Structure 1
Amino acid sequence: MKPTYVLDARTATPHFPGIGRYVKNLLQAMPPLLAADEELAVLFDPQHSGQFAQKDARRSQIVHVYAASSPFALQQQWQIPQALRSLKPGNDALVYHSPYYLMPYFLAMPAVLTFYDLIPLFFPHYVSPRARLLFRFTMRMALRTAQQILSISQSAAQDLAQYFALDPQRITTTPLAPDPCFCPQPQAEIERVRQKYGLPAGFFLYFGINKPHKNLPALISAYAEWRTKAALPLVIAGAWDQRYPESKQLVAQKKLAEAVTFLGSMPDDDLPGLYAAATAFIFPSRYEGFGLPVLEAMACGTPVACSNTSSLPEVAGDAALLFAPDSPSALAHALSQLMDAPTRLQMRDRGLQQAARFTWQRTAQQTLAVYRNLVKNPAGP
């Protein structure tokens, strides 16, 4: 009996950038941790086969399973179980892991589900009533299918257990981690990014989307209040959703066009240099399942101030200045504190130490432990 762990990698596509990075990082970290009698089966669409070529010495323990079926397609309910039958003959030690709640719900093996957040339910104005109903239904189906749930933070695990009345023993916290590319950058890379985007020598940085829960208007209001005391610019980077123009409108209303720069989307290769070029990173979000940009900035040696809600205190520890997200004055005070060089140096050192506590190797080890427990006890706790 060879334990085989099936990781569903169909979401490792540009359509799922966050989940895709999660899957790819697990696939990189897991193979060296497999025992000699274990194998990892990677389930993916053959159209994306190139990105799953394994180059490590343990590639004999990596099995590829092909399924040209989207997570959004109804036919995955029978096509995925059929594809997995090729692993089944003579092997009862199988575990299936879905990183997404749209998954096959009728499996003849124990299942693991990764959970991120409840944004569609906590911020209902994002989606239509029909979409919220569909989310609840499919999430309940996924939770009914999975014997074990992996949550990316303790905060998210508590939200899930409370909202869906789950036994907390079914949930294991397996935190995310920054990619290894996020680290202190050489001065040449910082200068390259500065020149490419026309950035000043010092600036406050926000990186992320502009959806309402990210709370960008509060950051701009706080910046407007604080800017009377100093003149450090504010740079806002990340994908821009045109449905939410409030932040740009507020910049115009407060006559901050010369002080606030919107960079929009940028290549992943430029992000470490952008973080490292910033004087400090500001993250005013009202709700995060994890809040990975906080750790990415810390890993690059950039001081961080972030809100004190949801998972962010858990992720930031004592390495960030925390503020109430709905208090522009508290945020403005954090900006003032970050103008102090000794404070920034202290926050930089703490941030590097905090970011180092989160690694994909550790997350992969915790994930494998859940798989192995399910092989021993397929029914779960």
Structure 2
Amino acid sequence: MSKSTMTPRPESRLSVFFDARFTRTTHHDGISRYGACLLAALLEAVEDTDIDVTAIISDRAQLALLPECRWVELNDPTSPAEVAVAGRLNALGADVVFSTMQTMGSFGRRYGLILTIHDLIYYSHPQPPGDLPLPIRLLWRAYHLSYTPQRLLLNRADAVAAVSETTKDLIAAHHLTTKPVAVVSNAAEVAAASTRTVNRSDAKTLIYMGAFLPYKNVEALIRALEHLPGWTLHIASRIEGRREAQLRSLIPDRAKVVFHRGISEEDYARLLDEATALVTASREEGFGLPVIEAMAQGVPVAVSDIPIFNEIAGAAAVYFDQEDPRSIAEAITRLTDAGTWEKQSQAGLVQSQKFDWTDSAAALVELIRSVAAERTTGATKRIGGADERESRS
């Protein structure tokens, strides 16, 4: 049985359910953070409007990472019960449902549905996250053998949300849906810091924050240290022991790599404050939150020359060929010039604010209203057609 903090609502109001079941319970990953930040901004955006928002969770422990709001507890999104979730949302009176993923069950739904797509990375890099159950990992690989399953999933919706213009362009390039696609952008969780007063061009300190799947290409960052004598690379994120051993085996002689194996947000902020740059050699990305967050703190970024980083970092980044360790080192070395470091630091502060949760929430509200209006128009046309047929009989 579902449990909730819902209260009755006037019939004239629009009942929106926000699928937050991909929220973690102890610390955010990328999708979890996207959902939590977007939900918080959406709740502010709909204050004093006719929209009521209810979060869907599958574990009450998720509430610790979500903003305070009305909620309803339904099944885990990866369980067999997902095939019946639409019936439960019908019974709860949903008008529009927004999901932070594209896999939400929809059979028999009587509400508007907006699904989110973050990236298409796993078509070219099909290895699934290791923390998923084996059956889900096998299904993951099968799903990414063809674009057909993706098209079937997205075309069940009334509209699709993409987290970046880059992802929206890829959706169009691969003809993934006939439904309207709008950008509901990812953004930094924090606002821009004040102007940096300490120039770290001579610190010779680099930070990597992210996962360790093959497309993240962390190996290239480690190999680049051969061309960066005296530099230290801090790997801040959690890492599994065998993966750490694999990366350690690549460290060049006399190079220094520090594995933090996870770090608190406070310690991470201090580490960034002392760094010359945040670095990432990803071959593909859906967005790149660590890049935005570093820029918001005034930390220059050295990144792969790929479309998504050009979109989110613009002229605030120094770019390199992610397959060439020497190119990586040359880009990083540019930041040892104090003037260049200062210029990139200031540019990053400005650029990071182009992606804002308030704007993302406004885009989502517009999409919600569009879907609701389209469904109302469609229902009216169907009723009108039925009345006309009845009058002729």
Please state which band the TM-score falls in when normalised by the shorter chain. Answer: 0.7 to 0.9
Q: Matched residues in 1 for 2:206 and 2:85: separation?
A: 49
C-alpha distance after superposition, 1:81-132 (max 9, x if no partner): 31441225xxxxx111111223112222111111111222111355876532
**Which deviates the most, 317-326 or 131-140?**
131-140
* Matched AA of 2:101: Y
How far 1:242 moved relative to its partner? 4.7
1:263-282 equivalent positions in 2, closer than 5 A = 263-282=260-279
Q: Select which of 293, 297, 305 maps to 1:296.
A: 293
Q: Given that residues 116 and 160 in structure 2 are in contact (C-alpha distance below 8 angstroms), is that contact kept between their aligned partners in structure 1?
A: yes
Residue 23, structure 1, aligned to residue 20, structure 2: no
2:257 is aligned with 1:260: yes
Q: Is the Cα–Cα contact under 8 Å of residues 211 and 241 in structure 1 kept in the other structure?
A: no
Amino acid at match of 1:143: L
> 1:151 is matched with which residue: 143, 154, 162?
162
Structure 2 unaligned spans of 5+: 1-11, 130-136, 379-393
1:172 matches 2:172? no
- 1:202 positional shift: 4.8
Q: Are 1:210 and 1:241, in contact at CA under 8 Å, matched by a contact in 2?
A: no
Cα distance in 2 for residues equivalent to 1:208 and 1:53:
22
Which residue is equivalent to 2:60? 47
Deviation string, structure 1 residues 199-235 (Cα, Å, up to 9, x no partner):
x9651212212221111121122221232xxx23222
Cα deviation digits, residues 173-215 of structure 1 (max 9, x gap): 222111127735999xx9xxxxxxxxx9651212212221111
Residue 24 of structure 2 is aligned to residue 13 of structure 1: yes
**Distance between the aligned counterparts of 2:253 and 2:161, measured in 1?**
46
Say whether residues 1:357 and 2:368 are aligned partners. Answer: no
Task: Look at both structures and tell me which one has the larger radius of gyration over its CA atoms.
Answer: 2
Q: Determine the structure 2 residue equivalent to 1:197.
A: none
Deviation at 1:162, TM superposition (A): 2.8
Q: CA deviation at 1:40?
A: 1.0
For 2:241 and 2:152, the matched residues in 1 are separated by 33
> Given residue 250 of structure 1, which amino acid in structure 2 is its aligned partner?
L
1:323 match: 320
**Using the alignment, how far apart are the partners of 1:26 and 1:64 within structure 2?**
15
**Per-residue CA shift, 1:69-88, capped at 9, x if unaligned?**
10101112214531441225
Asked if 2 retains the 8 angstrom alpha-carbon contact of 1:45 and 1:66, the reply is yes
Pairing partner for 1:86 from 92, 107, 117? 92
TM score, norm. by length of structure 1: 0.83
| Paired letter, 1:212 | P
Q: Hey, what does 1:97 align to over in structure 2?
A: 98
How many aligned residue pairs are there?
Answer: 351
Distance 1:155 1:53, change over 3 A: closer
Q: 1:378 to 1:321 in 2, by over 3 A?
A: same
Closer/same/farther in 2, CA of residues 333 and 202 from structure 1, 3 Å limit? closer
- Aligned equivalents of 1:380, 1:151: Cα separation in 2: 25
- CA distance in 2 between counterparts of 1:303 and 1:370 reads 34
The sequence identity of aligned pairs, in percent, is 26
